Amino acid sequence: MRVLGVDPGLTRCGLGVVDGSGGRTVKAVDVGVVRTPVDAPLEQRLHVVATEVAAWIARHRPDVVAIERVFSQHNVRTAMGTAQASGVVALMAAQAGIPVAFHTPSEVKAAVTGQGRADKAQVTAMVTRLLRLTDKPRPADAADALALAICHCWRAPMLERMAAAKARSDELAKAHKARLAAVAKGRT
């Protein structure tokens, strides 16, 4: 499975492509960062991010695009820009017919370092080690994008099992409800 991880942002948007083998082995394919000028109009900045992400999708043909789930806990203005960028990234995936998965920062940190409150340096160090890179990916947004892709490679089988279990339980609940309705009808 090939995953394009995206750490969305307007000033810096991290992109990382990772191949997963099904097991724990992961391989780095490409990593980079898109920058847009702070003083450019918002729609132009989004346009640059969208164009670059579409180019990465066309070049690497990922099976999934994994995007960091944005929370507005910190600076509201920054969080809004990040959310707008993440929407544009998700749209590029949809336009290419590729499914999107969202993972929270703590899910990514927990997957890669074993603990959800790891700092940036720990995440970068683990990403470097897991992908057997000779140099640390820079800036941190690029390392975060690779971490997201790794996180998705590892969580995907579990998420699929959960989705299958949910579908099965929904089906059982539906059948049970139908049976109850039939019994009730038989009584009247």
Site for a second copy (CB under 8 A): which residue of 7, 66, 86, 144? 86
| Residue 141 assigned to a binding site | yes
By the rule CB under 8 A, 80 interacts with a second copy: yes
Q: Determine how many CB atoms are found less than 10 A away from the CB of residue 144.
A: 28
- Please identify which residue in 21, 25, 72, 169 interacts with a second copy, judged by CB under 8 A: 72
- Contact between 12 and a second copy per CB under 8 A: no
Q: Which one of residues 25, 37, 42, 163 is an interface residue with a second copy (CB under 8 A)? A: 42
Q: Specify which residues 158 forms β-bridges with.
A: none
DSSP string over 115-176: STT--HHHHHHHHHHHTT-SS--SSHHHHHHHHHHHHHHHHHHHHHHHHHHHHHHHHHHHHH
- Residue 30 marked in a binding site: no
Q: Is 7 annotated as a binding residue?
A: yes
Q: CA 138, 63, 61 angle in degrees (round to 5)?
A: 70
Should residue 95 be labelled a site residue for a second copy when binding is judged by CB under 8 A?
Answer: yes
Per CB under 8 A, 35 contacts a second copy: no
**Is 7 considered catalytic here?**
yes
* Residue 36 found at the interface with a second copy (CB under 8 A): no
For 103, counting Cβ atoms within 10 Å of its Cβ (0-12 exposed, 13-18 middle, 19+ buried), the class is buried
Contact between 32 and a second copy (CB under 8 A)? no
Place of tokens 């203005």: 77
Q: Contact with a second copy (CB under 8 A): which of 34, 66, 85, 148?
A: 85
Q: If you search the block for the tokens 């980079």, which residue do you land on?
A: 32
**Is residue 46 within the footprint of a second copy (CB under 8 A)?**
yes
182's tokens: 């039939």
Q: Is 68 a catalytic residue?
A: yes
Alpha-carbon distance of 98 to 56, in angstroms, equals: 13
Active site residue 119: no
Binding site for Mg(2+): what residues are annotated? 7, 68, 141
Any idea which residues carry the catalytic annotation?
A: 7, 68, 141
Binding site for a second copy (CB under 8 A): 41-44, 46-47, 50, 70-72, 76, 79-80, 83-88, 90-91, 93-95, 99-100, 102
